[in-house]
Structure 1
Amino acid sequence: MGLLELFIIAVGLSMDAFAVSICKGLSVRTLRLRHALVTGLYFGGFQMLMPLIGFALGVRFQTLITSVDHWIAFVLLALIGGNMVRESRAQEEESLSDSFSFATMLPLAVATSIDALAVGVTFAFLQVDIVSAVCFIGATTFSLSCAGVKIGHVFGAKYKARAELFGGVVLILMGLKILLEHLGVLG
């Protein structure tokens, strides 16, 4: 997997965290640097941890499912991406607490990184260098989350749905690319 593909996956995975970061930015009256850094550290940290866990699980069970790994990668990425697209179309407004405490941020960080767990499983099948991949994903998510807090505070909620839609489409396309490469359609 090349750097461009990894970057595209990292950005796609970061879109849930970016969308929630926008909401966190909306929730504060006075934005402080600490708000962006706490959000970035939680989301970036969990986006590093979850693919690592997924990778460990994938490596453990890889020999059992090697013949269908490309289908698993495609299905996982398509499901995650499809869910993100669906959520971007939902009309309900989410309201987030203006707190940046452990009790508030931990569930958000876990919820926004569940898809990264599945991507980690996919990375095991693709034999990706996991250390550099998770560092890259974590740094990308950290950066986009910090920016999301600022954007949310300045511009409002109009970018949240677009971010989720973009991330979902990217993950679906990456899953399709993996499938087509394994089927020999793409070179």
Structure 2
Amino acid sequence: MSFYSLFLIALGLSLDAFGTAICIGLNNGVKRNNKLLFALSFGFFQFFFSLVGAYTGFLFNTYIASVPEVIGGTIIAIVGIMMVKEGYENNNECPLIKPSMYFVLGISVSIDAMVVGFTALHNIANILVLLENTIFIGIVTLIMSIAAFLVSRYLKRINMIGKYADYLGGIILIIFGIKMIFF
């Protein structure tokens, strides 16, 4: 997989966390430590779920059946459509900030990373390359989450930003899925 494709995947996946981080950052009651813990949670779960998804996809293709690129591209495009739909249905309410929310939100913004790992990263046989790619996804998410918290300081009056992040992330995944299907 090329760096460009990996970057687009990482960017598309991270924009879900970006939208959530904007929502959290718009809440005046959230402290700097909370924001850092959320960013670390988002980055870790994006890395972990994409790694688990890639390994599961590798085992599935090796021992059960091979998933052709058309099916993988279709699944990625469906995940993108679901992200756009989620952005459309988002009511932009900031969730309650509790210690358990680091895990709940980290996992919820990273479920799509498992699907992408299963479909797009399953053919990487070298574990070091797989670790490098999934760590890259986690780092991009971490950086995007921190950027969202920084931007949210200046956008306290605009509550619709998270909605657009879901749209953009979904569109990027749809385009990547179409690329996998036809090219």
TM-score (norm 2): 0.89
Which structure's residues are more often helix, by fraction?
Answer: 1
CA distance in 2, matches of 1:71, 1:91: 30
What corresponds to 1:184 in structure 2? none
What corresponds to 1:114 in structure 2? 111
**1:41 shift after superposition:** 0.6
Change (3 A) 1:30 1:95: closer
Change (3 A) 1:178 1:30: closer
CA distance in 2, matches of 1:17, 1:91: 14
Is 1:44–1:142's contact at 8 Å kept on the other side of the alignment?
A: yes
Q: Does 1:165 align with 2:167?
A: yes
SS in 2 for 1:29: coil
CA distance in 2, matches of 1:28, 1:97: 12
CA distance in 2, matches of 1:160, 1:18: 7
Percentage of matched positions with identical amino acids: 32
CA distance in 2, matches of 1:178, 1:91: 28
The code of the aligned residue for 1:114 comes to I
- C-alpha RMSD over aligned residues: 1.8
What corresponds to 2:26 in structure 1? 26
Unaligned stretches of 5+ in structure 1?
182-187
Is 1:69–1:125's contact at 8 Å kept on the other side of the alignment?
A: no
Q: Does 1:179 align with 2:177?
A: no
SS in 2 for 1:41: helix
**1:65 shift after superposition:** 2.9
What corresponds to 1:74 in structure 2? 73
CA distance in 2, matches of 1:62, 1:25: 41
What corresponds to 1:151 in structure 2? 151
- CA offsets 1:124-182 (integer angstroms, 9 cap, x no match): 4443731111111011000111111222232032311111100000001101101112x
What corresponds to 2:57 in structure 1? 58
Which segment is superposed worse, 165-174 or 88-97? Answer: 88-97
The code of the aligned residue for 1:146 comes to I
Is 1:47–1:116's contact at 8 Å kept on the other side of the alignment?
A: yes
Change (3 A) 1:164 1:151: same
What corresponds to 1:46 in structure 2? 45
CA distance in 2, matches of 1:146, 1:163: 14
Between the two proteins, the alignment pairs up a number of residues equal to: 177
**1:47 shift after superposition:** 0.4
CA distance in 2, matches of 1:81, 1:178: 13
**1:91 shift after superposition:** 5.7
TM-score (norm 1): 0.87
